[in-house]
Amino acid sequence: MTKRVVLAYSGGLDTSVAIGWIAAETGAEVICVAADVGQGGEDMNEIRQRALDCGAVESVVLDLKTEFAQDFCLPALRANALYLERYPLVSALSRPVIAKHLALAAQKFGADTVAHGCTGKGNDQVRFEVGIGAIAPELDVIAPVRDSGMTRDKAIQFAEDKGLPIDQSKRSPYSVDQNFWGRAVETGFLEDPWNAPIEDLYSYTSDPAVAREPDDVVISFVDGVPTAIDGRPVTVLEAILELNKRAGAQGVGRLDMVEDRLVGIKSREVYEAPGAIALITAHQELEDLTVERDVRRFKFSVEQRWTELVYDGLWFSPLRSALDAFVDSSQRHVTGDIRLRLHGGKAVATGRRGEGSLYDFELATYDTGDTFDQTLAKGFVQLWGLPSRIAARREQRLAK
């Protein structure tokens, strides 16, 4: 029986070149698996045909949008996952769902090897290989672009020489990865961090500097799950898609940053994530209203570690699952509404309410009706500061 390799196929330069490399180097038949995670603007049937035109013996397209939204984006939202407090894990979230289905495809088609088109510099090689190893440790994994040492310009030349049907060219050398949680753009002139991004790079967002009327939107949550927009019931996927349009139209979610990659180098990335940023902003605001102080403080550290694990390719790790249990518990009362004003590239909360609220007007007010007993505060302050005073007296005594 001819050896078979299942290739994670995006339709782009690297994976198109990888089909021919695998066939030449291993003699194996290549089966391409393209995952639809809401790339937007791409015809998945064209991508399927492109794989066949590039030499694949079989090509399948999987609609993973609902699964991606519910099982991957939602946990990230409830964890307020922002790497380096900015990046909402656009690519890092899609890789584990793709890895899962690559392993399933290998089982279905009788393949003993899975391949991906990542380079040796990026994070995605780790996300794919560690993820597949956690799901199906019996599978081998190869990375044709990385293992062949093919640079981007050589890959472009290879594609042109072979007449591969790809959109890449020397005149437009950007690398773009996108799904409905966001869009990432890198390489080309962006590799010089002094160069400012140009407007042509953006696709999900409009120029925030252009004057337009603000958009006020009310996002409703039940136990940390977005369930309605402006009172109209939505699924998680529908909430993301609608806010991509509305927040994107206001220029919300543009990020230009230098980030720390897992392999130890710094990388300049330009991101667009209008729906993700709007939802995370609203969710954080509702948590501020509904989550008890010590739980909220501790959750900040959980969020950071959760985000690092996912960014570093450890979605299937026992620690992430354990942290999920804490996050799930913390969401029991994150129920209510947040009103956001989307305008000028920002999503700003202008209203908060909910049955899970811990805000007590009678305790918070400084006006008539205040029920807070201020006579208790003096003793509280004295006892709270007692350890510091004792330590200060010791320092004074020893200084003498």
Q: How many angstroms from the chain centroid is the CA of residue 6? A: 25
Q: Which two tokens stand for residue 328?
A: 């799930």
Rg (CA), the chain: 25
**Pick from 181, 252, 247, 202: which is nearest to 39 by CA?**
181
% of the chain with per-residue pLDDT over 90: 79
Share of the chain above pLDDT 70, in %: 98
Non-local CB neighbours of 335 within 8 Å, separated by 6+ positions = 221, 222, 223, 290, 354, 355, 356
Average pLDDT over residues 313-334: 98
Known catalytic membership, residue 95: yes
Q: Alpha-carbon dihedral of residues 296, 299, 303, 304, nearest 10 degrees? A: 100
Question: Residue 340: what pLDDT?
Answer: 98
The mean pLDDT value for 250-257 works out to: 98
Average pLDDT over residues 14-29: 88
244 appears as a binding residue in the annotation: no
For residue 379, count other CB atoms closer than 10 A to its CB. 9
Element (H, E) at 28: none
Residue 86 a catalytic site member: no
In this predicted model, what pLDDT tens digit does every residue of 259-294 receive, in sequence order? 999 989 999 999 999 999 999 999 999 999 999 999
pLDDT band (50, 70, 90) for residue 173: low
What pLDDT does residue 1 have? 64
pLDDT at 179: 95
Look at residue 293 in the predicted model and tell me its pLDDT.
Answer: 97
Quickly tell me which residue has 């939202």 as its tokens.
77
16 annotated as belonging to a binding site for a ligand: yes
Mean pLDDT value of segment 190-212: 95
Domain 178-353: what homologous superfamily?
Argininosuccinate synthetase, chain A, domain 2 (3.90.1260.10)
pLDDT at 35 over 60: yes
Annotated binding-site residue? 311: no
For the stretch 51-76, pLDDT in tens is: 999 999 999 999 999 999 999 999 99
- Choosing from 50, 78, 95, 246, the catalytic residue is 95
CA 14, 17, 19, 25: dihedral to nearest 10 degrees? -110
Domain with CATH 3.90.1260.10 in the chain: 178-353
Contacts of 326 (CB under 8 A, 6+ apart): 299, 302
What is the reported pLDDT for 118?
87
91 is in an annotated binding site: no
pLDDT at 168 over 80: no
State mean pLDDT over 133-149: 91
**CA–CA dist 273, 82 (Å, integer):** 11
Q: For residue 94, which phi and psi values (nearest 5 degrees)? A: -80, -25
Which region among 35-39, 44-48, 117-121 has the lowest average model confidence (pLDDT)? 117-121
- The residue from 53, 71, 148, 175 that is catalytic is 175
Known catalytic residue: 140? Answer: no
Q: What is the mean pLDDT of the chain?
A: 93
Active site residue 215: no
Tell whether 10 is in a known binding site: yes
Q: Among 3.30.460.10, 3.90.1150.10, 3.40.50.620, 3.30.930.10, what is the CATH number of 4-170?
A: 3.40.50.620
Rounded to an integer, what distance in angstroms lies between the CA atom of residue 242 and that of residue 394? 61
301 carries a ligand binding annotation? no
Q: Determine the average pLDDT of the residues in 171-193.
A: 86
Put simply, whether the predicted model's pTM sits higher than 0.75 gets the answer yes
Residue tagged 């006020």 (tokens): 216
Give start-end residues of each CATH 3.40.50.620 domain in the chain.
4-170
- H helices of 171-317, in order, are 236-249, 274-290, 293-311
CA atoms within 13 A on the CB side of 43: 4
Task: Find the mean pLDDT for residues 116-140.
Answer: 93
Give me the catalytic one of 78, 124, 254, 330.
124
The 10s digit of each residue's pLDDT in 330-343 is: 999 999 999 999 99
Catalytic residue among 14, 146, 246, 320: 14
Q: Report the SS3 class of residue 167.
A: coil
> What is the reported pLDDT for 121?
85
Give residue 114's pLDDT.
97
CA angle (147 as vertex; 56, 72 as ends), nearest 5:
70
Cβ–Cβ under 8 Å, residues 277 and 243: no
Query: Is residue 42 a known part of a binding site?
Result: no
Report the pLDDT value the prediction gives residue 176, as an integer from 0 to 100: 86
Give the model's pLDDT for residue 145: 84
**51 marked ligand binding residue:** no
Is residue 27 within a helix (H) or strand (E), and if so which, with residue range?
A: none
Q: Shortest CA distance to 33 belongs to which of 14, 52, 53?
A: 52
Q: How far is CA 158 from CA 13, 17, 152, 170, in A?
A: 10, 7, 10, 12
202 is in an annotated binding site: no
Tens of pLDDT, residues 342-367: 999 999 999 999 999 999 988 998 99
